[in-house]
Structure 1
Amino acid sequence: MDGNPGIRRRAIGLGSAVIGAGLLAATGSRAQPAAVPSAPPTEKAPYNPRFVASPDGVRLATYEFGNPQGPAILFLHGFAQAALSWDRQLRDPALAREFRMVAIDLRGHGMSAKPEGDAFYKPGQVWADDVKAVIAGLGLQRPVLVGWSYAGRVVGDYLTAHGASALAGINYVDASSTLGNAAFFGPDAGLLGPSAMLAPGIDGFIDGTVRFLRSCFATQPDPADFQTMLAFNMLAPHYVRAGLAGRPANYDEVLKALRLPVLVSHGEKDRILTTAMARFTAATVPGATLSLYPESGHAPFWEEPARFNRELAGFVRQVQAAR
């Protein structure tokens, strides 16, 4: 986020317009854990923005960083988030030298189209087709999918509809892969419902988004980064969030049959999805590797980016060597 000044200025400007100084002051006044410091300023990371059309006509915003000749990594963000969530990966110089990195704004999020109606959000097929359209539209050769949080379901939708033959591997990051056990959900999982992210009325909607974002981190982002995150969360309207809610997650048999390298990364201090979810995913997928982050909450790629990026790079190299 702070590593790409052009994107950051636009996001912060939008956040200021949508949220207002009064809200930012109010959220800043709450007692919070120490912040994760912003990364040191770097040169603006060049990227290639492009829209890809899904089969049902939804325009998906994509952003390509890094080495266009390198092995491909496709990043999928979580509920109400955006491609900017992956800032600490997309702007990492070491990753950029070696890999072709693409992040997308899922339908209804970020700069992607936001059509109204459950038909655009409830069926698993539309999410599966979005991923397929981006892989085909950008010519990604056997990418590694990196799916955070809700994107675990998007990955499951893709595998159910299209199989794994076009992929090199999958990295589940604090990701939902099933709805089968209450022990998989942490004390703040309820913030995804009517008490917070789906709260009626503008005041409840904004305050609920703030509370959900705070719960994503064991160590809080600094104020400027949090402002950017809040801005792009507010780009996901209430009807989009409601469309994502209540979808089935029947992926157990797909995971059991998966014959693909899988890395499961998970923060041990996650208050939304517990490590039991990660352990289930790793145990269900044959040969999967589990990597736990003791100091991270729901977003280890943000809270411990050096380790996360190192492990991601090693995983991509491993799966490419095995081809």
Structure 2
Amino acid sequence: MSAVAVHRAVLGDGRPTLPYAEAGPPEGKPIVLVHGYVDSWWTFEPMLRRMPSALHAYAPTQRGHGDADKPSDGYLPEDFATDLVAFMDSVGIDRAVLVGGSSGGVQARIVAGRRPDRVAGLVLLGVPAELSDKPGVTELWDTVRELEDPVDRAFAKDFARGMTAAPIGRGFLETVVDENLKAPARVWRETLRGLLETDLRSTLSGILVPTLVVWGDQDTLLTREDQQTILDTIPDSRLLVYEGAGHVVYWEAPDRVLRDLAAFTADRT
């Protein structure tokens, strides 16, 4: 098992301070794990604990989430993408493979398209091409826009449970829910609003770095056609289908994700 160290990155220029987890030997190839909606670095804990010696992982918690600073604004995908580059600057990462989980892949691909000099490769783990066309997301928005503090724990638990095809460990589920509840209602609301009001398909254009797309065929949120849109738009991309896995493949199959990630990263510098 790999040791996981937790630090804080001061982004400067009025930007928030972000906690981040780090795992893997310093000589490993750098990867940055970018979490999705209302998660924190803890969402990648199953991977971080198993990090192979070939990889050196950084997993920041984004603004408004977990134990990160919670400014009053700045919750558009573009804001998170700008923070991501500032995070890399803060911890001294010149170039890395960006690994986006769920909606975290949106800001990761924005950076890949705009700053290819900083991105050796892009991995999208259950990342949508578009969200505004998903009935489940529309239903979620109807609830989230009415949320008040404190966010109801039963709602957050049901939300987390819906991310996998098979039940996840009770202890890990409770940790995920605890982390989700650290985001105030306004962050749940403004982050989802930003995802719905942004033209997400446009964030796929201009990406020329090698890209690995991973999708679980039991994902109740994203369809194969949605993932095909990503493949059709990013020239150097390929798809891996995880049979029997749901939306958050890195909870259900962390060892497989790491094997595929290590293989993909082996030829990137």
Please, what TM-score do these two structures have when normalized by structure 2? Answer: 0.90
Give the direction of change, closer, same or farther, for the CA distance of 1:202–1:110 in structure 2 (3 Å limit). closer
1:167 paired residue among 109, 114, 119: 119
Match of 1:67 among 7, 13, 25: 25
Give yes or no for the alignment of 1:108 onto 2:60.
Answer: no
Are residues 1:194 and 2:148 paired? no
Shift of 1:312: 0.6
Q: What is the CA deviation profile of residues 171-229 of structure 1, one whole-angstrom value per residue up to 9, with x for unaligned ones?
A: 0111123347x3xx3x643453233x455356873332122111101001121111111
State the 1:266 CA deviation.
Answer: 0.9
For 1:220, the aligned partner's letter is P
Q: Which amino acid aligns with 2:119?
A: L
Given the alignment of the two structures, is residue 264 of structure 1 paired with residue 218 of structure 2, yes or no? no
* Shift in alpha-carbon separation, 1:46–1:88, aligned structure 2, 3 A: closer
Tell me, in whole angstroms, the C-alpha distance in 1 between the residues paired with 2:219 and 2:225: 11
Report the CA distance shift for 1:201/1:127 in structure 2 as closer, same or farther (over 3 A). closer
Residue-by-residue CA offset, 1:33-82 (whole Å, 9 max, x unaligned): xxxxxxxxx5x724241223254321111221111122100000110111
8 A Cα contact 2:21 2:60, kept in partner: yes
Gaps of 5+ in 1: 1-41
Alpha-carbon deviations, 1:63-108, whole Å to 9, x = none? 2111112210000011011101111211115x2x221100010110
* One of 190, 193, 196 as aligned partner of 1:243: 190
Aligned AA (1:58): P
How many residues end up aligned between the 2 structures? 267
Larger gyration radius, structure 1 or structure 2: 1
| 2:74 counterpart residue number | 120
Instruction: Look up the equivalent residue of 1:269 and give its one-letter code.
Output: Q
Unaligned runs of 5+ in 2: none
- The residue correspondences of 1:10-159 to structure 2 (distance < 5 A) are 45-53=3-11, 55-93=13-51, 95=52, 97-116=53-72, 119-122=73-76, 124-159=77-112
Correspondence 1:225 to 2:179: no
**Is 1:71–1:143's contact at 8 Å kept on the other side of the alignment?**
yes
- Aligned-pair RMSD on alpha carbons? 2.2
The structural deviation recorded for 1:159 is 4.1
C-alpha displacement of 1:276? 2.2
* Cα distance change, pair 56–273 in 1 and its aligned pair in 2 (3 A): farther
Give a deviation string over 1:229-277, Cα, whole Å, max 9, x none: 1111111110011111222333545534321100000111111222322
Residues 51-60 or 267-276, more deviating:
51-60
Q: CA deviation at 1:279?
A: 1.7
Distance (whole Å) between structure 1 residues aligned to residue 12 and residue 108 of structure 2: 16
